[in-house]
Structure 1
């Protein structure tokens, strides 16, 4: 199926559950706004997306105190259905209805897939609590929504690898959203959208398709520019200290070099796709 066909299926499901999803988002909006929708696509299509994920050796390993995961952004290197599903979420019909659910106007998808694309997490891999970079790659638009589509069949909460939201900070309990097969999660990104992925505790891998939407305006008037800002998990105070120091150093660099010292490689460089 191509991206138009996939977008049409996604649209039907979003329309069908529009009011429930809007209520979900409104109920959580004062903290970290989010909604999720299960059974997004026919299961055979979702399974095809899952089985098309490349081997880990064909992805880029990002491993540090901040994170440990595999990512892929050069989508022309992988089975075409992966690129089609990513850009299905960028169809103007999907962008429009997601904006209506979240009451956000003038949303813009990111054809460059800056920090988007596909990701895999295997046993013991993780993503520490963090705030996403506040802007797009050119630092002209505000990042306002994060779309995550999970594709690993039979994924259970106790496997780990789940999305965690920390609306009240790391001193309070997190909200856990299981990385359930064929589930779409949409969450707001702003200066208080602290989130993470819990360590994987399963001998397998969790696969995810990621997109971001941007806008000319931030979600909150108090939002300010920031780099991707990592923290340690509550039980890792020393790592938390190191990561906060790391963020301060990178922020200092960005005050001097607006777009950083070097180009971020996590961008899809394919003019045809754009």
Structure 2
């Protein structure tokens, strides 16, 4: 199946455009907390399955395991099947960026060719992602991160499998809403200083696969947004862990005030030859 990003982009654009009105209404209803929408059956099932089957094995991805998260990521796309690079950059086609920006009532939005913190995500049994705020900026700290696009491609994934997106719309002291990581589902969510989100622990011996993109802007999503590093916290029942993660975030924030672009370059970006 040799489809390029432009052809895949046309399929994505058509599906989103057909549902634009409903998606815009849904997003607006959630905009005051964490704006988001999701769309099922984004691509033909055969294509979505092919994308899934082309994902690398976890041993061919980078493991990220610490107190904050446990997952696998892949972003040096020329090392993997060509369709994976094509699906990622299909979401960066100008007409799709413009359409999604319109749904979310944003202007001056850019895609990210470097895939800074984007690319592919794989999560197997016991993998998780603690509640967090995404880094507020791009790799050069010149643009604001405003939207997170997550496209799930694991066939037959069920809610009880875990590995689902959680949105803490009322803060970390209240219950999160769960957005199932359903096969062939696109989720778009706002990223700002209140958009706490997480991924529940995977409960089964299977791999949850996700294609990830971020969109950026010259201006922040919220007028009072301030620069912040990726900030993790504990879940409501993780009191001690929350203290540790809070201290960890404060220390990393302090270091970024001194070293504006970090102590070292973040390796999570696609470096083309």
Whether these two folds match at TM > 0.5 is yes
- Stretches of structure 2 that go unaligned for 5 or more consecutive residues are none
| 1:259 and 2:250 correspond | no
Equivalences for residues 135-146 of structure 1 within 5 A: 135-146=137-148
Deviations 1:146-205, CA, capped at 9 Å, x for gaps: 000000001101110000000111111101000000000000000000000000001101
Normalising by structure 1, we get a TM-score of: 0.98
Counterpart CA distance in 2 for 1:260 and 1:208 is 27
Give me the whole-angstrom Cα distance separating, in 2, the residues matched to 1:30 and 1:122: 33
Identify which of 2, 5, 8 aligns with 1:3.
5
How far apart are the structure 2 equivalents of 1:72 and 1:240? 28
Corresponding residue of 1:65 = 67
Partners in 1 of 2:93 and 2:106 — Cα distance?
16
TM-score (norm: length of structure 2): 0.99
Structure-2 separation of matches of 1:146 and 1:12: 20
**Correspondence for 2:180:** 178
Deviation at 1:233, TM superposition (A): 1.3
| Equivalent residue number for residue 89 of structure 2 | 87
The whole-number CA distance in structure 2 between the counterparts of 1:7 and 1:194 is 29
2:34 paired residue number: 32
| Runs of 4 or more above 2 Å deviation | none
Tell me the alpha carbon deviations over residues 127-154 of structure 1, each in whole angstroms, 9 at most, x when there is no partner: 0000000000000000000000000001
Give secondary structure in 1 for the equivalent of 2:56. Answer: coil
Q: Distance in 1 between matches of 2:201 and 2:21?
A: 33
Counterpart residue number, 1:240: 242
Q: In the aligned structure 2, how far is the partner of 1:143 from the partner of 1:117?
A: 15
Where structure 1 has 5 or more consecutive residues not aligned to the other structure, the ranges are: none
Cα distance between partner residues in 2 of 1:269 and 1:234: 38
> Given the alignment of the two structures, is residue 108 of structure 1 paired with residue 110 of structure 2, yes or no?
yes
Distance in 1, matches of 2:76 and 2:221, equals: 29
What is the aligned counterpart of 1:155 among 143, 154, 157?
157
Q: 1:74 aligns with which of 56, 73, 76?
A: 76
Q: Number of aligned residue pairs: give it.
A: 271
